[in-house]
């Protein structure tokens, strides 16, 4: 069967799958303190529906899934779902992005379910600042979660740090220091102007170049490592065990030409580009009894609508969208 290609010849092989819009944190750049208007339970894709859709995509060459949210680990029976996903024919890489709060309990089971790659979000190494940014006194639990992930044999363990001026710019060197002795990848991510990040982004964005320069002032020139398939450029401090990644959606637009991903929201809408406000409803037709062949054509049509680059979207930028609903 032919692989999925978009209109610009990019082969689509990677799905970021949001399994819930719910979250136990309220990160200031992601979700308002009061929460959001939750998607009603009946409008959230059921596991069987997600699995059906992924099976169809796998038959057209999708081989990599990242499960995200909201917070994926708040969804009931998530470990069972991850295991089923992992064993779909053709899917050879299932990874997870989590806030780490439940990992102390779940890391081993998730690893036993066949998941090897995990990204854990942590924007500060200071307990009080953690409470400020997430709204939850959970720093200790997240650190335990990270240690549990390392003990459980996840490889790689990546730590996502959203860079914010005046909040964590005094900590980048400390984050980098963690890589000296821990086999982790600390990834600095530029704050994106989405949802509450829109307001913060006006003054708080710190570019990858600034972060790199701060780290180089402390540790000298970083060694460049071969890039992976994703958007990160990867480096290491000379002699360090771990790595440093930089994701620069705001200051570097060159990734779009290599983008091989689509997103599926928790309510079953395909988003061909994170920054596009247009989505394609897959769930309604599925519930109305669409056949597998029709669903496959629908997905293919959505993929053909992937924009060449988010820069091409002009004003159609999704300031009013919420990362937790689209799966960051
Ligand atoms: N709850 C999980 C977590 O926090 O890892 C998964 C979902 S969260 C939406 C995925 C990633 O998106 C996190 O690393 C988070 O820091 C990042 N994120 C959310 N809003 C963002 C924004 N406005 N700019 C940059 N990154 C953002
Ligand atoms: Fe929740 Fe993740 Fe958004 Fe924070 S970034 S509010 S943990 S979904």
CATH number of the domain within which 69 lies:
3.20.20.70
Percent of the chain with pLDDT over 90: 78
- Smallest-distance ligand from the CA of 16: 1
**Residue 262 domain-assigned (yes or no):** yes
Angle at Cα 217 formed by Cα 229 and Cα 219, nearest 5°?
A: 65
pLDDT at 325: 64
Find the domain containing 64 and state its range.
14-326
pLDDT > 60? residue 215:
yes
Rounded to the nearest angstrom, the distance between the alpha carbon of 17 and the centre of ligand 1 is: 13
pLDDT tier, 82 (very low <50, low <70, confident <90, very high otherwise): very high
pLDDT at 193: 80
pLDDT > 80? residue 30:
yes
pLDDT tier, 327 (very low <50, low <70, confident <90, very high otherwise): low
Query: Helices marked H in the chain — which ranges?
Result: 47-58, 78-86, 103-112, 127-134, 139-151, 172-181, 197-204, 208-219, 283-287, 292-304, 323-326
pLDDT > 70? residue 170:
yes
Q: Give the lowest-confidence range in 137-146, 155-164, 216-225, 315-324.
A: 315-324
- Smallest-distance ligand from the CA of 18: 1
Q: What is the mean pLDDT of residues 84-99?
A: 97
Cβ atoms of 160 and 119 within 8 Å: the answer is yes
324 vs 111 pLDDT, higher one:
111
* Cα–Cα distances in angstroms (integers) from residue 41 to residues 1, 22, 35, 37, 45, in the given order: 35, 10, 16, 12, 9
Query: Helices marked H in 160-253 — which ranges?
Result: 172-181, 197-204, 208-219
209: number of Cβ within 10 Å:
12
Q: Whose CA is nearest to atom 12 of ligand 1?
A: 328
Strand order of the sheet with strand 64-68? Answer: 223-224, 233-236, 243-247, 184-190, 157-163, 117-121, 93-98, 64-68, 14-18, 261-264, 269-271, 280-281
**Residue 8 domain-assigned (yes or no):** no
Contacts by residues 223-229 (CB-CB < 8 Å, ≥ 24 positions apart): 229/14, 229/258, 229/260
Ligand 2 binding pocket mutation candidate from 69, 138, 200 (most atoms within 8 A of CB): 69
Atom of ligand 1 nearest to the CA of 69: 7
Q: Which residues line ligand 2 (CB under 6 A)?
A: 23, 25-27, 30-31, 69-71, 99, 121, 323-324
**Residue 1 domain-assigned (yes or no):** no
pLDDT at 316: 45
Cβ atoms of 324 and 31 within 8 Å: the answer is yes
CB-neighbour burial class of residue 221 (10 A; exposed 0-12, middle 13-18, buried 19+): exposed
**Residue 159 domain-assigned (yes or no):** yes
Atom of ligand 2 nearest to the CA of 97: 2
d(CA 195, CA 197): 5
**Residue 9 domain-assigned (yes or no):** no
**Residue 3 domain-assigned (yes or no):** no
Q: Whose CA is nearest to atom 17 of ligand 1?
A: 328
pLDDT tier, 202 (very low <50, low <70, confident <90, very high otherwise): low
**Residue 177 domain-assigned (yes or no):** yes
325 vs 104 pLDDT, higher one:
104
Q: Which of 260, 257, 240 has its CA nearest to residue 309?
A: 257
pLDDT at 321: 60
Number of domains, the chain: 1
pLDDT at 313: 53
Rounded to the nearest angstrom, the distance between the alpha carbon of 70 and the centre of ligand 2 is: 6
pLDDT > 90? residue 312:
no
Percent of the chain with pLDDT over 70: 92
- Smallest-distance ligand from the CA of 29: 1
Mean pLDDT of the chain: 92
Residues constituting the chain: 328
Q: CA torsion sign, 55 to 56 to 57 to 61? A: positive
CA end-to-end span of the chain: 30
**Residue 7 domain-assigned (yes or no):** no
């Amino acid at each position: 069967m032919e692989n999925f290609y978009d209109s610009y010849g990019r082969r689509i092989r990677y799905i970021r799958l949001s399994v819930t819009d719910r979250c136990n944190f309220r990160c200031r750049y992601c979700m308002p303190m009061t929460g959001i208007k939750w998607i009603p339970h009946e409008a959230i894709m059921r596991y069987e529906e997600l699995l059906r859709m992924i099976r169809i995509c796998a038959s057209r060459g999708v081989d990599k899934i990242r499960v995200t949210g909201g917070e994926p680990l708040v969804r009931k029976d998530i470990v069972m779902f991850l295991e089923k996903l992992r064993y779909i024919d053709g899917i050879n890489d299932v990874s997870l992005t989590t806030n780490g709060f439940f990992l102390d309990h779940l890391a081993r089971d998730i690893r036993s379910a066949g998941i090897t790659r995990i990204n854990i979000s942590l924007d500060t190494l200071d307990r009080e600042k953690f409470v400020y940014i997430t709204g939850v006194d959970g720093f200790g639990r997240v650190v335990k979660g990270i240690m549990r992930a390392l003990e459980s044999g996840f490889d790689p363990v990546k730590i996502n740090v959203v860079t914010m001026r005046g909040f964590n710019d005094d900590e980048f060197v400390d984050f980098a220091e963690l890589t000296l002795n821990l086999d982790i990848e600390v990834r600095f991510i530029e704050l994106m102007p989405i949802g509450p990040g829109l307001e913060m982004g006006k003054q708080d964005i710190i570019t990858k170049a600034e972060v790199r320069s701060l780290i180089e002032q402390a540790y000298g020139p970083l060694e460049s490592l071969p890039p992976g398939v994703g958007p990160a450029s990867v480096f290491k401090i000379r002699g360090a065990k771990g790595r440093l990644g930089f994701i620069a959606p705001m200051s570097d637009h060159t990734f779009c030409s290599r983008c091989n991903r689509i997103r599926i929201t928790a309510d079953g809408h395909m988003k061909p580009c994170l920054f596009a406000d247009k989505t394609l409803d897959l769930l309604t037709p599925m519930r109305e009894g669409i056949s597998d062949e029709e669903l496959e054509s629908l997905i293919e049509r959505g993929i053909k609508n992937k924009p060449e680059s988010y820069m091409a979207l002009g004003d159609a930028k999704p300031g009013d969208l919420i990362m937790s609903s689209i799966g960051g």
